[in-house]
């Protein structure tokens, strides 16, 4: 029983991490109908940002995650200004290809500047810390990331659902032209949404160096799983992304332990296919 609970808990914590990464993607996809292929690279640059702050100035990832969020907010906003804005109103493929190009650019800049070397922070506040709860080993870094994910998703959800800004975001997502007729500055909304999406993944990336090595390829699988979470949860739905991420975390953990570790991603993508076939708009999609 203890093993079952351990596996379940590990799965939930991984699911919360995926939710944090997926939240920003969901927001961007839901509001702007743009698939940001560079989302994994946003995570990667936040990890580098946090790593270098920790390595040079000994700033712990808990603190640098906030700075990482702010940094990637700016990167996201700049991405909108310099790249995405030029693709609005054109075929969906042009935004997709533009962000794909951006992801290659970011990855290769990091490869060039930081080398493919994997880098791990030593002696962080959370690194390597665990505690035992009724026979279940709780890893502190993953627990903190899980709690941050819950808090951040709650804030983003409240922002979208309960504030004037959120209503403007929803209106822009539903009908851009009508929103503009109502006096909403959709240009600013898009900028904010891209920035917010970046900030969410930036905070996740800022925390990760507590236990995960940083290298230029680190964002690839996270980004793929985030796409699956968003599509499975329903485009633009934060609760959907959370539920899908938790499901994916659990399926990954149980399939990995009870079937075979090499089978875990087969199970994850298999689940995704089933959900998309049965309910193409996702769990919470409209």
Partner 1 sequence: MKKSLFSKGLLLVLTAFLVVGAISGAAVAEEKVIKIGTLFPLTGPVALAGQRCRAAVETAAEVINNAHPELQVPLAAQEGVLDGYKFVLVHADHQGKPDVAKSEAERLFDQEKVWGIIGCYNSAATKPASFVAELKQRVFMCGCSSSGALTERDFKYFFRMAPTDKTESLEFVEFIEWANEHKGSDIKTVGLIYENTEFGKHAAEEGRMAAEAGGFKVVADVAFNPGATNLNSEVQTLKAANPDAVFGACLGGDYTLWVRTMKQMDWLPKVALNYCTGYQDPIIVGQLGDDANYFMGGTGYAPEFAELMPAVAAVEEIYKTKTDPSVPFDSDSIQEAVALLVLAQAIEKSGSLDPTVVAETLHANEWESPLSMGGKVAFAPGGQNIKAMSMLTQLQGGEYKRIYPVDLADTEPVIPMVPWKDR
Alpha helix positions (H), 115-237: 140-162, 164-174, 176-181, 186-207, 219-233
Q: Does 8 bind partner 1 (CB under 8 A)?
A: no
Cβ 55 vs Cβ 121: under 8 Å: yes
Vertex 98 angle, CA 95 and 99, to 5°: 90
Q: What are the structure tokens assigned to 223, written together?
A: 């980004």
Cβ-based burial of 162 (10 A; exposed 0-12, middle 13-18, buried ≥19): exposed
Report the nearest approach of partner 1 to the CB of residue 118 (Å).
4
Binding of residue 256 to partner 1 (CB under 8 A): yes
CA distance 18 to 12: 10
| Pair 230, 29: CB distance under 8 Å | yes
Tell me: does residue 270 bind partner 1 (CB under 8 A): no
Binding track over 64-103 against partner 1, x by CB under 8 A: ----------------------------------------
For every residue of 207-254, DSSP letters joined together read HGGGTS-B-TTTHHHHHHHHHHHHHHH-TT-HHHHHHHHHHHHHHHHH
Instruction: Kindly state the number of chain residues that form the binding site for partner 1, as judged by CB under 8 A.
Output: 41
Residue 148, interface with partner 1 (CB under 8 A)?
no
Structure tokens at 256: 């990995």
By CB under 8 A, residue 269 contacts partner 1: no
Nearest distance from C-beta of residue 150 to partner 1, angstroms: 19
Site string for partner 1, 201-220 (x = CB under 8 A): ----------xxx-xxxx-x
Is 12 near partner 1 (CB under 8 A)?
no
> Comparing C-alpha atoms, which of 157, 131, 159, 164 is closest to residue 9?
131
Rounded Cα–Cα distance for residues 17 and 266 (Å) = 19
Q: How far is the CB of 14 from partner 1 (least distance, A)?
A: 6
Selected range binding partner 1 among 53-61, 111-119, 181-189, 232-240, rule: CB under 8 A: 111-119
Residue 52 in contact with partner 1, rule: CB under 8 A: no
In the bound state with partner 1, the residue whose beta carbon lies nearer, of 91 and 132, is: 132
- Least distance between partner 1 and beta carbon 255 (Å): 8
Query: Based on CB atoms, which residue is closest to partner 1, 11 or 30?
Result: 11
Range 113-132, binding partner 1 (CB under 8 A): 115-120, 122-123, 128, 130
Closest of 18, 6, 7, 8 to residue 248, by C-alpha: 18
Specify the residue, 59 or 220, whose C-beta has the smaller distance to partner 1.
Answer: 220
Q: Provide, rounded to whole angstroms, the least separation between the CB of residue 216 and partner 1.
A: 8
Binding residues (CB under 8 A) for partner 1: these are: 3, 6-7, 10, 14, 17, 108, 111, 115-120, 122-123, 128, 130, 137, 139, 211-213, 215-218, 220-222, 225, 252-253, 255-257, 260-262, 264-265
């Amino acid at each position: 029983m203890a093993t079952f609970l351990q596996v379940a808990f590990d799965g939930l914590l991984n699911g919360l991490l995926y939710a944090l990464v997926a939240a920003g993607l969901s927001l961007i996809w839901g509001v702007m109908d743009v698939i940001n292929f560079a989302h994994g690279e946003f995570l990667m640059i936040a990890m580098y940002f946090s790593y270098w702050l920790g390595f040079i100035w000994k700033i712990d990832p808990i603190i640098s995650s906030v700075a990482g969020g702010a940094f990637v907010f700016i990167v996201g906003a700049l991405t909108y200004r310099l790249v995405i804005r030029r693709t609005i109103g054109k075929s969906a493929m042009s935004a997709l290809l533009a962000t794909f190009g951006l992801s290659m650019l970011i990855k290769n800049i990091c490869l060039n500047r930081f080398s493919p070397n994997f880098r791990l922070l030593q002696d962080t506040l959370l690194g390597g810390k665990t505690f035992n709860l009724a026979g279940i080993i709780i890893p502190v870094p993953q627990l903190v990331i899980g709690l941050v994910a819950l808090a951040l998703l709650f804030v983003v959800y409240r922002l979208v659902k309960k504030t004037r800004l959120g209503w403007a975001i929803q209106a822009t997502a539903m009908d851009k032209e009508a929103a503009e007729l109502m006096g909403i500055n959709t240009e600013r909304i898009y900028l904010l949404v891209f920035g917010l999406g970046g900030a969410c993944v930036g905070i996740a990336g800022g925390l990760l160096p507590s236990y995960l090595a940083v290298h230029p390829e680190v964002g690839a699988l996270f980004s793929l799983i985030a796409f699956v979470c968003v599509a499975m949860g329903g485009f633009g739905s934060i609760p959907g992304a959370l539920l899908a991420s938790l499901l994916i975390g659990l399926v990954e953990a149980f399939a990995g332990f009870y079937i075979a570790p090499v089978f875990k991603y087969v199970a994850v993508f298999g689940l995704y296919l089933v959900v998309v076939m049965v309910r193409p708009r996702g769990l919470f999609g409209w």
